[in-house]
Amino acid sequence: MVGSPYRTVSSTTRAVQTNEETFVTKTTEVSGQRDERFEALVGVLERQLASDYDLGASLAVAVDGEVVVDVWGGWSDEERTTPWAADTVTNVWSTTKTMTALAALVLVDRGLLDPDATVATYWPEFAAAGKADVCVKHLLSHTSGVSAWDQPITPEEVLDTEAATARLASQAPWWEPGTASGYHALNQGHLVGEVIRRIDGRGLKQFFAEEIAQPLDADFTIGSPPENHSRISNVIPPPPLPLPPDLDPESVMFKTFTGPLPDAAIAHTDEWRASTIGAANGHGNARSVAKIQAVISNGGSANGVKLLSPQTIDRIFEAQSDGVDQVLMVPATFGLGYDLAAPSNVVGITSGRKCYWGGWGGSIVLNDLDNRVTMSYMMNRMQAGLVGNETSVALIGELSTILS
Protein backbone atom coordinates (compact mmCIF):
# COMPACT_ATOMS: atom_id res chain seq x y z
CA MET A 1 0.00 0.00 0.00
CA VAL A 2 1.46 3.34 -1.08
CA GLY A 3 0.12 6.67 0.00
CA SER A 4 1.17 10.27 0.55
CA PRO A 5 -0.34 13.69 -0.12
CA TYR A 6 -0.55 15.04 -3.65
CA ARG A 7 1.17 18.27 -4.49
CA THR A 8 1.28 20.54 -7.50
CA VAL A 9 4.09 19.99 -9.95
CA SER A 10 6.45 22.84 -10.67
CA SER A 11 7.35 24.25 -14.05
CA THR A 12 10.44 23.17 -15.97
CA THR A 13 13.06 25.56 -17.29
CA ARG A 14 16.24 25.29 -19.34
CA ALA A 15 19.19 27.46 -20.22
CA VAL A 16 19.43 28.71 -23.81
CA GLN A 17 22.72 29.94 -25.33
CA THR A 18 22.69 32.83 -27.79
CA ASN A 19 25.58 34.82 -29.26
CA GLU A 20 25.07 37.57 -26.73
CA GLU A 21 24.18 35.84 -23.50
CA THR A 22 22.79 32.84 -21.73
CA PHE A 23 19.28 33.25 -20.40
CA VAL A 24 16.65 31.00 -18.92
CA THR A 25 13.33 30.55 -20.63
CA LYS A 26 10.34 28.50 -19.55
CA THR A 27 10.02 25.81 -22.23
CA THR A 28 7.18 23.91 -20.71
CA GLU A 29 5.07 23.63 -17.60
CA VAL A 30 4.64 20.25 -15.97
CA SER A 31 1.16 20.10 -14.51
CA GLY A 32 -0.93 17.69 -12.51
CA GLN A 33 -0.53 15.89 -9.22
CA ARG A 34 2.00 13.49 -7.82
CA ASP A 35 2.74 11.30 -4.87
CA GLU A 36 6.04 12.17 -3.23
CA ARG A 37 7.14 8.56 -3.16
CA PHE A 38 7.33 8.63 -6.97
CA GLU A 39 9.15 11.96 -7.24
CA ALA A 40 12.02 10.40 -9.18
CA LEU A 41 9.66 9.33 -11.96
CA VAL A 42 8.34 12.86 -12.38
CA GLY A 43 11.97 13.96 -12.49
CA VAL A 44 12.50 11.74 -15.53
CA LEU A 45 9.58 13.44 -17.30
CA GLU A 46 10.93 16.88 -16.40
CA ARG A 47 14.43 16.07 -17.63
CA GLN A 48 13.25 14.57 -20.89
CA LEU A 49 11.07 17.57 -21.67
CA ALA A 50 13.70 20.10 -20.67
CA SER A 51 16.30 18.39 -22.86
CA ASP A 52 13.89 18.21 -25.82
CA TYR A 53 14.31 14.45 -25.98
CA ASP A 54 10.54 14.33 -25.60
CA LEU A 55 8.37 17.16 -26.91
CA GLY A 56 5.11 16.47 -25.07
CA ALA A 57 4.30 13.63 -22.72
CA SER A 58 2.26 12.36 -19.80
CA LEU A 59 3.14 10.07 -16.90
CA ALA A 60 0.86 8.21 -14.50
CA VAL A 61 1.19 5.75 -11.66
CA ALA A 62 -1.66 3.76 -10.13
CA VAL A 63 -1.35 2.02 -6.77
CA ASP A 64 -3.97 -0.41 -5.49
CA GLY A 65 -6.09 0.47 -8.51
CA GLU A 66 -6.10 4.23 -7.92
CA VAL A 67 -4.11 6.81 -9.89
CA VAL A 68 -1.74 8.59 -7.49
CA VAL A 69 0.55 10.26 -10.04
CA ASP A 70 -0.95 12.10 -13.00
CA VAL A 71 1.36 14.63 -14.65
CA TRP A 72 1.86 16.02 -18.13
CA GLY A 73 3.88 18.67 -19.89
CA GLY A 74 5.50 19.92 -23.04
CA TRP A 75 3.88 20.69 -26.32
CA SER A 76 1.05 19.07 -28.23
CA ASP A 77 2.36 20.20 -31.61
CA GLU A 78 5.75 20.33 -33.27
CA GLU A 79 5.40 24.08 -33.81
CA ARG A 80 5.08 24.55 -30.02
CA THR A 81 1.92 26.61 -30.21
CA THR A 82 -0.31 24.38 -28.05
CA PRO A 83 0.72 22.99 -24.66
CA TRP A 84 0.05 19.35 -23.85
CA ALA A 85 -3.09 19.59 -21.70
CA ALA A 86 -4.84 17.41 -19.16
CA ASP A 87 -7.08 15.93 -21.85
CA THR A 88 -4.52 15.66 -24.65
CA VAL A 89 -4.38 12.21 -26.22
CA THR A 90 -2.07 10.69 -28.80
CA ASN A 91 -1.72 7.54 -30.88
CA VAL A 92 0.06 5.12 -28.55
CA TRP A 93 0.93 2.48 -31.16
CA SER A 94 1.54 -0.98 -29.68
CA THR A 95 0.53 -0.02 -26.17
CA THR A 96 -2.87 -0.63 -27.81
CA LYS A 97 -2.03 -4.35 -27.74
CA THR A 98 -2.38 -4.38 -23.95
CA MET A 99 -5.94 -3.10 -24.35
CA THR A 100 -6.78 -5.74 -26.94
CA ALA A 101 -5.29 -8.39 -24.66
CA LEU A 102 -7.40 -7.16 -21.75
CA ALA A 103 -10.52 -7.36 -23.91
CA ALA A 104 -9.73 -11.00 -24.69
CA LEU A 105 -9.03 -11.72 -21.02
CA VAL A 106 -12.45 -10.35 -20.08
CA LEU A 107 -14.00 -13.03 -22.30
CA VAL A 108 -11.69 -15.64 -20.79
CA ASP A 109 -12.87 -14.61 -17.34
CA ARG A 110 -16.51 -14.95 -18.40
CA GLY A 111 -15.89 -18.48 -19.61
CA LEU A 112 -16.58 -17.54 -23.21
CA LEU A 113 -13.02 -17.82 -24.55
CA ASP A 114 -10.55 -20.64 -23.93
CA PRO A 115 -6.94 -19.64 -24.71
CA ASP A 116 -6.08 -23.31 -25.26
CA ALA A 117 -8.81 -23.80 -27.87
CA THR A 118 -8.04 -23.49 -31.55
CA VAL A 119 -8.79 -20.22 -33.24
CA ALA A 120 -10.98 -22.17 -35.67
CA THR A 121 -13.27 -23.12 -32.77
CA TYR A 122 -14.52 -19.54 -32.88
CA TRP A 123 -13.48 -18.52 -36.40
CA PRO A 124 -13.75 -21.55 -38.69
CA GLU A 125 -12.26 -19.84 -41.75
CA PHE A 126 -8.97 -19.42 -39.92
CA ALA A 127 -8.26 -23.16 -40.23
CA ALA A 128 -7.33 -22.67 -43.90
CA ALA A 129 -3.82 -23.20 -45.25
CA GLY A 130 -2.50 -25.31 -42.40
CA LYS A 131 -3.74 -23.25 -39.45
CA ALA A 132 -6.25 -25.71 -37.99
CA ASP A 133 -4.11 -26.27 -34.90
CA VAL A 134 -3.30 -22.61 -34.18
CA CYS A 135 -4.65 -21.78 -30.72
CA VAL A 136 -5.95 -18.52 -29.30
CA LYS A 137 -2.95 -18.39 -26.96
CA HIS A 138 -0.71 -18.31 -30.04
CA LEU A 139 -2.40 -15.14 -31.25
CA LEU A 140 -2.00 -13.50 -27.86
CA SER A 141 1.68 -14.49 -27.55
CA HIS A 142 2.88 -13.71 -31.09
CA THR A 143 3.53 -17.38 -31.78
CA SER A 144 0.83 -18.10 -34.39
CA GLY A 145 3.11 -18.05 -37.43
CA VAL A 146 1.00 -15.23 -38.91
CA SER A 147 2.92 -12.10 -37.93
CA ALA A 148 1.83 -9.97 -40.91
CA TRP A 149 0.12 -10.14 -44.28
CA ASP A 150 1.36 -11.95 -47.35
CA GLN A 151 2.59 -9.54 -50.00
CA PRO A 152 1.48 -7.47 -51.72
CA ILE A 153 -0.35 -5.42 -49.09
CA THR A 154 -0.51 -1.66 -48.52
CA PRO A 155 -1.14 0.26 -45.30
CA GLU A 156 -4.36 1.57 -46.81
CA GLU A 157 -5.62 -2.00 -47.35
CA VAL A 158 -4.93 -2.79 -43.69
CA LEU A 159 -7.39 -0.04 -42.73
CA ASP A 160 -10.22 -2.08 -44.26
CA THR A 161 -10.50 -4.24 -41.16
CA GLU A 162 -12.96 -6.78 -42.55
CA ALA A 163 -11.06 -7.42 -45.79
CA ALA A 164 -7.65 -7.38 -44.11
CA THR A 165 -8.82 -9.87 -41.49
CA ALA A 166 -10.17 -12.21 -44.16
CA ARG A 167 -6.78 -12.14 -45.88
CA LEU A 168 -5.09 -13.29 -42.69
CA ALA A 169 -7.51 -16.20 -42.39
CA SER A 170 -6.63 -17.44 -45.87
CA GLN A 171 -2.82 -17.39 -45.67
CA ALA A 172 -0.39 -20.03 -44.44
CA PRO A 173 1.80 -19.59 -41.33
CA TRP A 174 5.41 -18.57 -41.85
CA TRP A 175 6.76 -20.92 -39.15
CA GLU A 176 5.41 -23.78 -37.08
CA PRO A 177 2.85 -22.23 -34.72
CA GLY A 178 3.69 -22.39 -31.04
CA THR A 179 7.42 -23.02 -31.53
CA ALA A 180 8.72 -19.45 -31.40
CA SER A 181 7.54 -15.86 -31.28
CA GLY A 182 7.48 -13.46 -34.19
CA TYR A 183 6.09 -10.10 -33.15
CA HIS A 184 2.65 -9.48 -34.70
CA ALA A 185 3.42 -5.81 -35.15
CA LEU A 186 0.37 -4.53 -37.00
CA ASN A 187 -2.03 -7.45 -37.28
CA GLN A 188 -2.47 -8.82 -33.75
CA GLY A 189 -5.58 -6.71 -33.22
CA HIS A 190 -7.14 -7.98 -36.43
CA LEU A 191 -6.58 -11.56 -35.28
CA VAL A 192 -7.63 -11.25 -31.64
CA GLY A 193 -10.36 -8.76 -32.51
CA GLU A 194 -11.97 -11.19 -34.93
CA VAL A 195 -12.07 -13.91 -32.27
CA ILE A 196 -13.78 -11.42 -29.95
CA ARG A 197 -16.27 -10.48 -32.66
CA ARG A 198 -17.11 -14.09 -33.41
CA ILE A 199 -17.84 -14.75 -29.73
CA ASP A 200 -19.55 -11.53 -28.71
CA GLY A 201 -20.94 -10.10 -31.93
CA ARG A 202 -19.44 -6.67 -31.31
CA GLY A 203 -16.25 -5.55 -33.00
CA LEU A 204 -13.17 -4.91 -30.90
CA LYS A 205 -13.62 -1.13 -30.89
CA GLN A 206 -17.17 -1.34 -29.56
CA PHE A 207 -16.49 -4.18 -27.14
CA PHE A 208 -13.52 -2.37 -25.62
CA ALA A 209 -15.44 0.91 -25.28
CA GLU A 210 -18.53 -0.61 -23.69
CA GLU A 211 -16.98 -3.31 -21.52
CA ILE A 212 -13.70 -1.70 -20.42
CA ALA A 213 -13.14 2.02 -21.08
CA GLN A 214 -16.60 3.29 -20.16
CA PRO A 215 -17.00 1.30 -16.92
CA LEU A 216 -13.51 2.39 -15.82
CA ASP A 217 -14.17 6.03 -16.86
CA ALA A 218 -10.99 5.94 -18.94
CA ASP A 219 -10.36 8.31 -21.83
CA PHE A 220 -8.93 5.67 -24.19
CA THR A 221 -10.32 4.63 -27.55
CA ILE A 222 -9.29 2.15 -30.22
CA GLY A 223 -9.22 4.46 -33.18
CA SER A 224 -10.58 7.89 -32.43
CA PRO A 225 -14.03 9.39 -32.99
CA PRO A 226 -14.19 12.73 -34.85
CA GLU A 227 -15.23 14.61 -31.72
CA ASN A 228 -11.83 13.80 -30.17
CA HIS A 229 -9.67 14.85 -33.11
CA SER A 230 -9.15 18.42 -31.92
CA ARG A 231 -7.31 17.22 -28.81
CA ILE A 232 -5.07 14.64 -30.47
CA SER A 233 -1.37 15.41 -30.36
CA ASN A 234 -0.01 14.16 -33.67
CA VAL A 235 2.96 11.84 -33.32
CA ILE A 236 6.29 12.99 -34.70
CA PRO A 237 7.59 10.12 -36.83
CA PRO A 238 10.88 8.49 -35.80
CA PRO A 239 13.93 7.79 -37.96
CA PRO A 240 13.47 4.83 -40.34
CA LEU A 241 13.90 1.38 -38.86
CA PRO A 242 17.53 0.31 -39.27
CA LEU A 243 16.85 -2.97 -41.05
CA PRO A 244 20.02 -4.93 -41.87
CA PRO A 245 21.00 -4.23 -45.50
CA ASP A 246 21.51 -7.94 -46.21
CA LEU A 247 18.24 -9.05 -44.60
CA ASP A 248 16.81 -12.13 -46.30
CA PRO A 249 13.54 -11.24 -48.06
CA GLU A 250 12.19 -14.62 -46.95
CA SER A 251 12.94 -14.00 -43.28
CA VAL A 252 10.10 -13.47 -40.84
CA MET A 253 11.58 -10.12 -39.88
CA PHE A 254 11.63 -8.84 -43.46
CA LYS A 255 8.16 -10.09 -44.33
CA THR A 256 6.66 -8.63 -41.14
CA PHE A 257 8.21 -5.20 -41.56
CA THR A 258 7.22 -5.00 -45.20
CA GLY A 259 3.81 -6.59 -44.83
CA PRO A 260 3.33 -3.65 -44.21
CA LEU A 261 4.95 -1.19 -41.81
CA PRO A 262 3.28 2.17 -42.46
CA ASP A 263 4.83 5.59 -42.30
CA ALA A 264 4.00 6.82 -38.79
CA ALA A 265 2.38 9.91 -40.29
CA ILE A 266 -0.55 7.72 -41.31
CA ALA A 267 -1.70 8.19 -37.71
CA HIS A 268 -2.55 11.80 -38.60
CA THR A 269 -5.22 10.76 -41.08
CA ASP A 270 -8.97 10.46 -40.61
CA GLU A 271 -8.84 7.03 -42.27
CA TRP A 272 -6.43 5.66 -39.65
CA ARG A 273 -8.48 7.07 -36.81
CA ALA A 274 -11.71 5.63 -38.19
CA SER A 275 -10.30 2.13 -38.55
CA THR A 276 -9.94 -0.60 -35.94
CA ILE A 277 -6.24 -1.44 -35.63
CA GLY A 278 -6.19 -3.25 -32.31
CA ALA A 279 -2.43 -3.59 -32.48
CA ALA A 280 -1.61 0.04 -33.09
CA ASN A 281 -4.27 2.79 -33.30
CA GLY A 282 -5.31 3.23 -29.68
CA HIS A 283 -5.56 6.85 -28.54
CA GLY A 284 -5.08 7.89 -24.95
CA ASN A 285 -2.71 9.38 -22.42
CA ALA A 286 -0.84 8.03 -19.43
CA ARG A 287 -3.78 8.54 -17.06
CA SER A 288 -6.22 6.58 -19.19
CA VAL A 289 -3.74 3.76 -19.80
CA ALA A 290 -2.95 3.47 -16.09
CA LYS A 291 -6.63 3.52 -15.10
CA ILE A 292 -7.30 0.57 -17.38
CA GLN A 293 -4.18 -1.49 -16.88
CA ALA A 294 -4.40 -1.12 -13.09
CA VAL A 295 -7.01 -3.88 -13.37
CA ILE A 296 -4.06 -6.23 -13.95
CA SER A 297 -1.88 -5.00 -11.10
CA ASN A 298 -4.76 -4.73 -8.63
CA GLY A 299 -6.10 -8.26 -8.69
CA GLY A 300 -8.67 -7.76 -11.44
CA SER A 301 -10.47 -4.56 -10.44
CA ALA A 302 -9.97 -0.80 -10.50
CA ASN A 303 -12.12 2.25 -9.82
CA GLY A 304 -14.69 -0.02 -8.19
CA VAL A 305 -15.07 -2.12 -11.35
CA LYS A 306 -14.14 -5.80 -11.37
CA LEU A 307 -13.18 -7.22 -14.75
CA LEU A 308 -10.96 -10.23 -14.02
CA SER A 309 -10.47 -12.91 -11.40
CA PRO A 310 -7.02 -13.70 -9.97
CA GLN A 311 -7.19 -17.01 -11.82
CA THR A 312 -7.52 -15.25 -15.17
CA ILE A 313 -4.67 -12.91 -14.32
CA ASP A 314 -2.52 -15.96 -13.53
CA ARG A 315 -2.93 -17.06 -17.12
CA ILE A 316 -1.07 -13.97 -18.33
CA PHE A 317 2.05 -15.39 -16.69
CA GLU A 318 1.99 -18.71 -18.48
CA ALA A 319 5.01 -18.20 -20.72
CA GLN A 320 4.29 -19.18 -24.32
CA SER A 321 7.72 -18.33 -25.74
CA ASP A 322 11.16 -17.57 -24.35
CA GLY A 323 13.91 -16.66 -26.76
CA VAL A 324 14.99 -14.22 -29.42
CA ASP A 325 11.90 -12.96 -31.23
CA GLN A 326 12.12 -13.53 -34.98
CA VAL A 327 10.86 -10.04 -35.79
CA LEU A 328 12.26 -7.85 -33.01
CA MET A 329 15.52 -9.82 -32.86
CA VAL A 330 15.79 -9.31 -29.09
CA PRO A 331 14.93 -11.71 -26.25
CA ALA A 332 11.25 -11.82 -25.36
CA THR A 333 9.21 -13.94 -22.95
CA PHE A 334 5.61 -13.62 -24.06
CA GLY A 335 2.71 -14.69 -21.89
CA LEU A 336 -0.93 -14.13 -22.79
CA GLY A 337 -0.97 -10.64 -24.24
CA TYR A 338 2.09 -9.22 -22.49
CA ASP A 339 5.84 -9.58 -22.30
CA LEU A 340 6.95 -10.92 -18.93
CA ALA A 341 9.84 -10.09 -16.61
CA ALA A 342 12.87 -12.21 -17.46
CA PRO A 343 16.63 -12.09 -16.76
CA SER A 344 17.31 -11.23 -20.42
CA ASN A 345 14.70 -8.46 -20.67
CA VAL A 346 16.06 -5.65 -22.81
CA VAL A 347 14.45 -2.74 -20.92
CA GLY A 348 15.41 -3.88 -17.44
CA ILE A 349 12.25 -5.69 -16.27
CA THR A 350 14.26 -8.65 -15.13
CA SER A 351 12.43 -10.22 -12.18
CA GLY A 352 9.18 -10.35 -10.26
CA ARG A 353 5.55 -10.82 -11.20
CA LYS A 354 5.49 -8.08 -13.84
CA CYS A 355 4.00 -7.80 -17.30
CA TYR A 356 4.29 -4.96 -19.76
CA TRP A 357 4.42 -3.73 -23.30
CA GLY A 358 5.00 -0.48 -25.10
CA GLY A 359 4.55 1.27 -28.40
CA TRP A 360 6.63 2.17 -31.42
CA GLY A 361 8.60 5.26 -30.49
CA GLY A 362 8.70 4.81 -26.73
CA SER A 363 5.34 4.65 -24.95
CA ILE A 364 5.18 2.01 -22.21
CA VAL A 365 2.92 0.51 -19.57
CA LEU A 366 4.21 -1.75 -16.80
CA ASN A 367 2.08 -3.76 -14.37
CA ASP A 368 3.92 -4.77 -11.19
CA LEU A 369 1.67 -7.24 -9.41
CA ASP A 370 4.06 -7.74 -6.49
CA ASN A 371 3.59 -4.09 -5.49
CA ARG A 372 0.12 -3.54 -7.01
CA VAL A 373 1.54 -0.71 -9.13
CA THR A 374 0.93 0.28 -12.74
CA MET A 375 3.15 2.88 -14.44
CA SER A 376 2.48 4.38 -17.87
CA TYR A 377 4.19 6.95 -20.07
CA MET A 378 2.76 8.29 -23.34
CA MET A 379 4.44 10.85 -25.59
CA ASN A 380 4.23 12.38 -29.06
CA ARG A 381 7.85 12.46 -30.25
CA MET A 382 8.76 8.96 -31.42
CA GLN A 383 12.32 7.78 -30.96
CA ALA A 384 14.12 5.10 -32.94
CA GLY A 385 13.48 1.45 -32.13
CA LEU A 386 10.50 -0.69 -31.29
CA VAL A 387 11.28 -2.00 -27.80
CA GLY A 388 11.95 0.75 -25.28
CA ASN A 389 14.09 3.87 -25.45
CA GLU A 390 16.05 6.17 -23.15
CA THR A 391 12.93 7.38 -21.35
CA SER A 392 11.32 4.01 -20.74
CA VAL A 393 14.58 2.47 -19.51
CA ALA A 394 15.06 5.42 -17.12
CA LEU A 395 11.51 5.14 -15.80
CA ILE A 396 11.81 1.41 -15.23
CA GLY A 397 15.10 1.88 -13.42
CA GLU A 398 13.72 4.58 -11.15
CA LEU A 399 10.57 2.59 -10.38
CA SER A 400 12.63 -0.46 -9.52
CA THR A 401 14.67 1.62 -7.09
CA ILE A 402 11.55 3.13 -5.49
CA LEU A 403 9.88 -0.23 -4.97
CA SER A 404 12.95 -2.18 -3.87
> Is residue 142 a part of any domain in this protein?
yes
What average pLDDT score do residues 82-99 get?
98
Domain presence at residue 291: yes
- pLDDT higher for 47 or 388? 47
Q: Is residue 339 over pLDDT 70? A: yes
Q: In terms of Cα–Cα distance, which of 220, 356, 357 is closest to 288? A: 220
User: If we measure between CA atoms, which residue out of 285, 241, 284, 233 comes closest to residue 262?
Assistant: 241
pLDDT at 329 over 50: yes
Per-residue pLDDT tens over the stretch 177-212: 999 999 999 999 999 999 999 999 999 999 999 999
CA angle at 286 for the pair 189 and 293, rounded to the nearest 5° = 55
Residue 11 has pLDDT above 50, yes or no: no
pLDDT at res. 166: 98
292-304 average pLDDT score: 97
Measured CA distances, 296 to 196, 289, 309, 373 (Å): 19, 12, 10, 9
Average pLDDT over residues 130-155: 98
The pLDDT assigned to 10 comes to: 41
C-beta of residue 138 within 8 angstroms of C-beta of residue 169: no
Closest-CA residue to 86 (of 215, 189, 219): 219
Q: Look at residue 351 and tell me if it is in a domain.
A: yes
**Cβ–Cβ < 8 Å for 193, 203:** yes
Its domain, for residue 18, covers 6-403
Per the domain annotation, does 238 fall within a domain? yes
Residue 394 has pLDDT above 80, yes or no: yes
Nearest to 91 by CA among 257, 273, 290: 273
C-beta of residue 360 within 8 angstroms of C-beta of residue 127? no
Alpha helices in 31-160 (DSSP H): 39-50, 96-109, 119-122, 136-140, 155-158
C-beta separation of 365 from 357 below 8 A: yes
What's the whole-number average pLDDT of the chain?
Answer: 93
Domain count, the chain: 1
What pLDDT score was predicted for residue 12?
41
Q: For residues 259-277, give the mean pLDDT.
A: 96
Computed from CA positions of residues 107, 108, 111, 117, in that sequence, does the dihedral angle turn out positive or negative?
A: positive
pLDDT surpassing 90 at residue 338: yes
Residue 348 predicted with pLDDT over 80: yes
Name the 3-class secondary structure at 191.
helix
**Lowest mean pLDDT across 18-27, 41-50, 302-311:** 18-27
pLDDT at residue number 28: 61
pLDDT class of 243 with cuts at 50, 70, 90: confident
pLDDT digits (tens, 9 = 90+) for 106-120: 999 999 999 999 999
Q: What is the mean pLDDT of residues 5-18?
A: 38
SS3 354: strand
Task: Give residue 91's identity as a one-letter amino acid code.
Answer: N
pLDDT value of position 22: 35
Looking at residue 240, which CATH number applies to its domain?
3.40.710.10
Do the domain assignments include residue 1? no
- Of 351, 349, 350, nearest to 375 (Cα)? 349
Estimate the share of the chain in helix, then strand, then coil, as percent rounded to the nearest 5. Answer: 35, 20, 45
From CA 176, how far away is CA 55, in angstroms rounded?
42
Examine residue 129 and state whether it is found in any structural domain, yes or no: yes
Which letter does DSSP use for residue 14 in this model?
Answer: E
